[in-house]
Amino acid sequence: MSRIGKKPVSLPDGVTANLADGTLAVKGPKGELKLPMADEVSYELADGGVTVTPANESKKARSYWGMQRTLVQNLVDGVTEGFSKVLEISGVGYRAKVQGKTLNLQLGFSHDVNFDIPEGIEIKTPDQTTIEISGIDKQKVGQVAAEIRRWRKPEPYKGKGIKYRGEYIFRKEGKKK
């Protein structure tokens, strides 16, 4: 029995949801998001909220139940508040700058790394060592942050690289004489 799945997803003021053609569309002040509905789970709009229940008693239906409810909650959170991730760059000469629809990264390579900003994502660089990624789609924000981080992951000896804000980098001791 899913504890998360039992709770209905409430829709705040200014947010509307529609069930049509196998998709759940949620529209709010920040935009509109759609989720393809899983066949193993049934969705119901009632009392200003969305209720998710398993369609049958199979193991697959029960395993989809909580996940689908969380995805619906992410849609509602995205169109009301949005999501953001912050990356921090550490290393001598490492810096980032937004130029139009491109993020320019200098990460110690012989060339600059130019990352094209996808549609629906906003990237800001308040200073040279901080990258703020925001958008309404949680999956897309996380994917963009992971792709940027992949260019230079933090290494354990000096801690140089791109890391998430608040991420702990396990440090190793170097060579001993």
H-type alpha helices, 13-58:
none
Co-location of 37 and 63 in the same domain: yes
pLDDT at 21 over 70: yes
Last residue of a domain, one of 61, 80, 99: 80
Domain count, the chain: 2
pLDDT tier for residue 2 given thresholds of 50, 70 and 90: low
Last residue of a domain, one of 27, 61, 80: 80
pLDDT tier for residue 1 given thresholds of 50, 70 and 90: low
Quote the pLDDT of residue 48: 84
Tell me the pLDDT of the chain averaged across its residues. Answer: 92
Name the token pair of 174.
């170097």
Co-location of 134 and 91 in the same domain: yes
Nearest to 36 by CA among 76, 68, 74, 83: 68
CATH number at residue 50: 3.90.930.12
Co-location of 88 and 140 in the same domain: yes
Co-location of 151 and 100 in the same domain: yes
The CA distance from 72 to 136, in Å, is 13
pLDDT at 145 over 90: yes
Quote the pLDDT of residue 177: 79
pLDDT tens per residue, range 55-99: 898 999 988 999 999 999 999 999 999 999 999 999 999 999 999
User: End-to-end CA distance of the chain, in Å?
Assistant: 58
Interval 156-174 mean pLDDT: 93
Co-location of 20 and 90 in the same domain: no
Residue-number span of the structural domain to which 142 is assigned: 83-164
Contacts of 13 (CB under 8 A, 6+ apart): none
* 125 contacts 97 by C-beta, under 8 angstroms: yes
3-state secondary structure 59-123: HHHHHHHHHHHHHHHHHHHHHHCCEEEEEEEECCCCEEEEECCEEEEECCCCCCEEEECCCCEEE
Co-location of 29 and 63 in the same domain: yes
Quote the pLDDT of residue 11: 92
Is residue 68 situated within a structural domain?
yes
